[in-house]
Amino acid sequence: MTYIGIIITFVFINNFILTQFLGLCPFIGVSKNVDSAVGMGFAVTFVMSIASLTTWAIYRWLLVPLNLGFLQTITFILVIAALVQLVEMVIQKISPPLYKALGIYLPLITTNCAVLGIALIAVRSGYNALESFIAGFAAGLGFLLAIVLMSTLREKLDAEWVPRPFRGTPIAFITGGLMALAFMAFDKALLRNLIG
Amino acid sequence: MTILFAFLVVGLLGALLGVGLASAAKALAVTKDERLEQLEGALPGLNCGACGYAGCASYAEAVAGEETTLTLCSPGGPEAASELGRIMGVEVDVSGTKMVAQVHCRGGRDVSEYAFEYNGLEDCTALYLLYGGDKICKSSCLGLGTCIRVCPADAIGYDDEGRIWVDKDVCISCGKCIEICPTGVMKWIPYDADYIVACNNTEPAKLVRKYCKVGCIACKICEKKSPEGGFVVENDLSTIDYSITGDRSVAVEKCPPKCIIPVTVREIPEVPAEEPVPVAVAEPASGDGEPERDGDETS
C-alpha cells in the first residue's frame, strides 16, 4: 500500500511542477507542442527514476558510513550529471531510434532541479531503494502529466484571441498558475479517503 | 578530519566519474559516416523540407545511405546538387530551370467586390473554410498572409499596394506557399519570366467583370496583339507558355483589365507607408488621423 501512496503523492498531491514548483524551465520552455512535451516528459521520467535509485545508493553506502550527509547536494549534482551523460551514450549506441526521440532532451535535464529535488526528497523521507525508485518514477509521471496538460492548453491558446500584452510566455504563466490552483484540490485528505 | 574526508570524497568521486565517462565515450563511440558532415555542409541549411525530408541533416543522411537522388534540394539548386555529386563521386545532371512562386492575383479592397465581412482568425486556411473566402471571386488571393508565415526564407510580403508579392530573388523554390495556399493562386513561374497573368479566375467574363476590375476576362486580346508571346486563353483564363520567349509587351499594354503585369521586385515596405496627416490645429487628438496598424486585433 505504501507504494501506491508514494505514487499518488508524487503524481498528484506533491506534483513536482504544480505543487512544488520544481523543474519550471522545461515546463515553460518545452510545452509549446504536445509531441516535444511528451518526449521531454518521458526523458525526465527516465532520468528521475534512475537518478533517485543511484543517489540513494551513493547516500546509503558512501555518505552515511563516512558521516558526510551534508555533502548530499554537491555529490548528487555530480552523480546525476555524469549519469545522464552515460545514459545518453549508452542509448545512442544501443538504440538510435530511442536516442532520436529522447536524445535532444537528455542534456537539457542533466542539472534540472526536479531531478535533484527527487533525489534530495527521497533521501530526506528515509525511503529504501525500491521506494526511492518508485518515488522518482512517480515524480517523473507527475511531470509528464503536468507538461502534457500544459502543452495541450497552449496549443489551443495559439488559436485563441489573447490580449497583446499577454501573448506567449505571460499567458503560459497564467495558465500554469491556474493549473497549480486546480492541483490544490489534491491533498492529504484525498489520499486518506482513497486508500485509508 | 571531516573536511579532509569531504575533500577526498568529492574529489575522488569527480575523478572516478570523469575517467569512467571518458572511457565510456571511447568504448561506446558511434562511428559516423564522415561524408555526412561534408554533405550537410554542401546543403544550404535552411531546413525548409522541400526535398521531402525533415531537414538538411536527414536529407544528407538519406544521400549518404544512397536512398535517394541528389537533385531534390531546390534552394541549393544546381550548385548544391553538383557539390553533393562530387562528395558522393557521382555525375549529376543539373540541367533544368529554376522555378519560383508567385501570386497570380491583384485583387483587393479597392478593385474587388466582397461577399461578406470576415472577422475571424487571421489565416487564409481558416477564411477559406468559410464559403471559400470573403471575396466573391473564390480563386483569388485571400490576403491574410498564411504564405508569409510559412515561408522559410522571408521572401513573401505585402507590397506597396497591400497585395501579397514574392521576391523572386529571395525565393528558394521550396513550394511551401504553393502547398498551403487554399485557393491555389500561388503558382510556379520560371525565375526568368518577364510577365505573369495576375489572375486565377476561370469563370466567364460576364461574371468576372461584375466583381473584379483586374480579373482576366478572356478577351483574347493578348493572343491577338502578341501572337509571338505564347499567350494561351483556355478555360476563360489567359496563361503564358513560358517555353515561348517572344515579345509580350504589346499584349501587356492592350490588356483591358491590365492584369498582365511585369515580374519586377516590388517594394515591400517594412511598415505600411503612413502619410503624416497635416493637422492645422495642434490638438491632442491628432492620433485619430493615423490608422492604427493592429486596430482590428483589439476590436
For the stretch B83-138, pLDDT in tens is: 888 888 887 776 677 889 999 999 888 889 999 999 888 899 999 999 889 999 99
Q: Would you call A88 helix, strand, or coil by DSSP?
A: helix
- The pLDDT assigned to A140 comes to 94
- Nearest residue of chain A to residue B119 (CA atoms): A161
Q: Does B32 touch chain A (CB under 8 A)?
A: no
- Cα dihedral sign for B10, B13, B19, B24? negative
* Nearest Cβ partner for B28 among A67, A78, A90: A90
* Nearest Cβ partner for B28 among A68, A93, A161: A93
Which region holds residue A136: left if phi is over 0, alpha if psi is between -120 and 50, else beta?
alpha
Q: Between chains, do B9 and A71 touch, taking CB under 8 Å as contact?
A: yes
Interface-testing mutation among A59, A85, A87, A162, with chain B (most B C-beta atoms within 10 A): A85
A vs B: CB pairs below 8 A? 47
Mean pLDDT value across chain B: 82
* Nearest Cβ partner for B10 among A74, A82, A159: A74
Q: Between chains, do B2 and A159 touch, taking CB under 8 Å as contact?
A: no
Spans of chain B, pLDDT less than 50 = 271-274, 277, 279-299
Position A117 confidence tier, pLDDT thresholds 50, 70, 90? very high
Q: Does A93 touch chain B (CB under 8 A)?
A: yes
Question: Over 90: is that where the pLDDT of A56 sits?
Answer: yes
Mean pLDDT value across chain A: 87
Q: Which residue has the higher pLDDT, B120 or A181?
A: A181
Alpha helices in chain A (DSSP H): 2-8, 24-29, 34-58, 72-94, 96-102, 113-124, 129-158, 169-183, 188-195
CATH class of B99-262: alpha beta
Position A113 confidence tier, pLDDT thresholds 50, 70, 90? confident
CA B144 vs CA A163, B133, B162: distances in Å: 20, 10, 11
- The pLDDT assigned to A174 comes to 93
Q: Does B8 touch chain A (CB under 8 A)?
A: no
Average pLDDT score over residue span A136-154: 94
- The pLDDT assigned to B166 comes to 92
Q: Does A63 touch chain B (CB under 8 A)?
A: yes
Domain pair B35-88 / B99-262, same fold: no
Q: Does B12 touch chain A (CB under 8 A)?
A: no
Instruction: Please give the grid coordinates belonging to residue A180.
Output: 497549480
Position A1 confidence tier, pLDDT thresholds 50, 70, 90? low
Gap between the Cα atoms of B263 and B189, Å rounded: 10
Position A83 confidence tier, pLDDT thresholds 50, 70, 90? confident
Looking at residue B212, its amino acid is: C
Average pLDDT score over residue span A133-160: 92
Any idea how long chain A is?
196
Domain residues of chain B, as ranges?
35-88, 99-262
Q: Does A90 touch chain B (CB under 8 A)?
A: yes
If you search the block for the grid coordinates 526528497, which residue do you land on?
Answer: A121
**Maximum Cα–Cα distance across chain B:** 103
Give the distance from residue A36's alpha carbon to the nearest chain B alpha carbon, in angstroms: 15
- The pLDDT assigned to A148 comes to 95
Question: Over 80: is that where the pLDDT of A31 sits?
Answer: yes
- The pLDDT assigned to A53 comes to 93
CA B266 vs CA A192, B107, B161, B263: distances in Å: 71, 16, 10, 8
Q: What is the CATH number of domain B35-88?
A: 1.10.15.40
Instruction: Please give the grid coordinates belonging to residue A53.
Output: 535509485
Residue A161 with chain B: CB contacts under 8 Å: 297
Interface of A with B in 164-183 (CB under 8 A): 164
pTM for this prediction: 0.59
Residue B13: name the closest of A157, A82, A190 by CA: A82
CB B202 within 8 A of CB B218: no
Q: Between chains, do A75 and B13 touch, taking CB under 8 Å as contact?
A: yes
